[in-house]
Amino acid sequence: MGFRDGQGSEMTRAYVEHVAVRVRDIQWHIRFLREVLGMTAREYDGPPDDPRQYWSVGGIQLLAAPGFAGQEGRLAHIGVMCDDLAAALEAAEAFGVEALPKGRNWLRLPDGLELELMQASTGSVGLALAIDPRHSTEA
Protein backbone atom coordinates (compact mmCIF):
# COMPACT_ATOMS: atom_id res chain seq x y z
CA MET A 1 0.00 0.00 0.00
CA GLY A 2 2.90 2.36 0.60
CA PHE A 3 5.19 4.20 -1.75
CA ARG A 4 8.95 4.67 -1.90
CA ASP A 5 10.72 7.77 -0.66
CA GLY A 6 13.83 9.29 -2.26
CA GLN A 7 16.04 6.66 -0.60
CA GLY A 8 13.92 3.74 -1.84
CA SER A 9 12.33 2.99 1.54
CA GLU A 10 8.69 1.94 1.66
CA MET A 11 6.47 4.52 3.38
CA THR A 12 2.78 4.84 4.10
CA ARG A 13 0.79 7.78 2.68
CA ALA A 14 -1.74 9.96 4.49
CA TYR A 15 -3.80 13.15 4.29
CA VAL A 16 -5.38 15.50 6.81
CA GLU A 17 -9.03 14.52 7.20
CA HIS A 18 -10.00 17.22 9.68
CA VAL A 19 -8.69 19.90 12.01
CA ALA A 20 -10.36 20.36 15.41
CA VAL A 21 -10.49 23.87 16.83
CA ARG A 22 -11.70 25.16 20.22
CA VAL A 23 -14.05 28.13 19.84
CA ARG A 24 -15.85 30.38 22.35
CA ASP A 25 -19.01 30.89 20.25
CA ILE A 26 -19.70 27.67 18.35
CA GLN A 27 -22.93 28.94 16.73
CA TRP A 28 -21.13 31.97 15.25
CA HIS A 29 -18.49 29.67 13.73
CA ILE A 30 -21.09 27.23 12.39
CA ARG A 31 -22.89 30.10 10.66
CA PHE A 32 -19.59 31.47 9.29
CA LEU A 33 -18.55 28.10 7.86
CA ARG A 34 -21.97 27.58 6.27
CA GLU A 35 -22.61 31.10 4.97
CA VAL A 36 -19.08 32.12 3.94
CA LEU A 37 -17.48 28.83 2.90
CA GLY A 38 -20.51 26.69 2.07
CA MET A 39 -19.43 24.04 4.60
CA THR A 40 -22.59 22.31 5.78
CA ALA A 41 -23.05 20.10 8.84
CA ARG A 42 -21.74 16.56 8.73
CA GLU A 43 -22.39 15.74 12.40
CA TYR A 44 -23.31 17.25 15.77
CA ASP A 45 -22.40 16.07 19.27
CA GLY A 46 -25.37 17.32 21.26
CA PRO A 47 -28.41 19.24 20.06
CA PRO A 48 -27.87 21.31 16.89
CA ASP A 49 -28.91 24.51 18.69
CA ASP A 50 -26.32 23.95 21.47
CA PRO A 51 -23.74 21.34 20.34
CA ARG A 52 -20.65 20.35 22.30
CA GLN A 53 -18.95 19.58 18.98
CA TYR A 54 -19.68 20.11 15.30
CA TRP A 55 -18.12 18.57 12.18
CA SER A 56 -18.46 20.26 8.79
CA VAL A 57 -18.33 18.72 5.37
CA GLY A 58 -14.92 20.06 4.40
CA GLY A 59 -12.84 18.96 7.38
CA ILE A 60 -13.35 21.45 10.20
CA GLN A 61 -14.38 20.23 13.64
CA LEU A 62 -15.47 22.81 16.21
CA LEU A 63 -15.32 22.17 19.96
CA ALA A 64 -17.41 24.45 22.18
CA ALA A 65 -15.13 26.12 24.75
CA PRO A 66 -17.04 29.21 25.99
CA GLY A 67 -14.46 30.02 28.67
CA PHE A 68 -11.42 29.72 26.41
CA ALA A 69 -9.45 32.97 26.48
CA GLY A 70 -6.04 32.46 24.88
CA GLN A 71 -4.53 31.73 21.50
CA GLU A 72 -2.41 28.81 22.71
CA GLY A 73 -4.23 25.51 22.80
CA ARG A 74 -7.01 26.55 20.44
CA LEU A 75 -6.09 23.72 18.05
CA ALA A 76 -7.28 20.50 19.71
CA HIS A 77 -5.90 17.92 17.26
CA ILE A 78 -5.34 17.08 13.61
CA GLY A 79 -7.13 14.05 12.14
CA VAL A 80 -5.06 12.21 9.53
CA MET A 81 -6.34 9.46 7.21
CA CYS A 82 -3.67 6.77 6.55
CA ASP A 83 -3.56 4.18 3.80
CA ASP A 84 -1.92 1.77 6.29
CA LEU A 85 -2.70 2.70 9.89
CA ALA A 86 -0.66 -0.16 11.37
CA ALA A 87 2.43 0.86 9.38
CA ALA A 88 2.02 4.51 10.38
CA LEU A 89 1.72 3.58 14.07
CA GLU A 90 4.78 1.35 13.82
CA ALA A 91 6.76 4.15 12.17
CA ALA A 92 5.60 6.60 14.86
CA GLU A 93 7.06 4.39 17.61
CA ALA A 94 10.56 5.12 16.30
CA PHE A 95 9.99 8.81 17.04
CA GLY A 96 9.16 8.19 20.69
CA VAL A 97 5.76 9.88 20.52
CA GLU A 98 3.30 9.42 23.35
CA ALA A 99 0.20 7.25 22.80
CA LEU A 100 -2.80 8.87 24.49
CA PRO A 101 -5.45 7.17 26.66
CA LYS A 102 -8.05 7.84 23.92
CA GLY A 103 -6.54 4.95 21.92
CA ARG A 104 -3.26 3.85 20.39
CA ASN A 105 -4.13 5.82 17.23
CA TRP A 106 -4.05 9.08 19.25
CA LEU A 107 -0.51 10.46 19.51
CA ARG A 108 1.03 13.46 21.26
CA LEU A 109 4.11 14.89 19.57
CA PRO A 110 6.95 16.36 21.66
CA ASP A 111 5.71 19.95 21.22
CA GLY A 112 2.22 18.96 22.47
CA LEU A 113 0.44 18.69 19.10
CA GLU A 114 -2.03 15.80 19.07
CA LEU A 115 -2.73 13.63 16.02
CA GLU A 116 -5.63 11.24 15.50
CA LEU A 117 -4.54 8.65 12.93
CA MET A 118 -7.36 6.79 11.16
CA GLN A 119 -7.50 3.93 8.67
CA ALA A 120 -8.71 5.16 5.27
CA SER A 121 -10.77 3.12 2.82
CA THR A 122 -8.73 1.25 0.22
CA GLY A 123 -7.46 3.64 -2.45
CA SER A 124 -8.94 6.79 -0.90
CA VAL A 125 -5.64 8.31 0.25
CA GLY A 126 -4.25 8.10 -3.26
CA LEU A 127 -7.40 9.72 -4.64
CA ALA A 128 -7.26 12.54 -2.09
CA LEU A 129 -3.58 13.15 -2.72
CA ALA A 130 -4.19 13.26 -6.47
CA ILE A 131 -6.35 16.35 -6.05
CA ASP A 132 -4.40 19.49 -6.93
CA PRO A 133 -5.89 22.31 -4.82
CA ARG A 134 -4.01 24.89 -6.91
CA HIS A 135 -5.56 23.70 -10.17
CA SER A 136 -8.52 25.80 -11.19
CA THR A 137 -11.06 24.77 -13.78
CA GLU A 138 -12.40 28.32 -14.05
CA ALA A 139 -11.86 30.13 -17.33
Note the pLDDT of residue 1: 47
Q: Is 37 exposed, middle or buried (0-12, 13-18, 19+ CB in 10 A)?
A: exposed
- The H or E element containing residue 117 is strand 114-119
Residue 37 Cα to chain centre, angstroms: 18
The residue extents of the domains of the chain are 1-20+76-131, 25-64
What pLDDT shows up at residue 71?
A: 64
Q: Find, among 106, 19, 16, 108, the residue nearest to 61 by Cα.
A: 19
pLDDT digits over 66-81, tens only?
988 766 667 889 999 9
Share above pLDDT 90 across residues of the chain, in percent, rounded to a whole number? 35
* pLDDT of amino acid 121: 92
- Threshold 0.75, pTM exceeds: no
**pLDDT for the residue 119:** 95
pLDDT 10s digits, 98-128: 999 999 999 988 867 789 999 999 988 888 8
% the chain with pLDDT above 70: 86
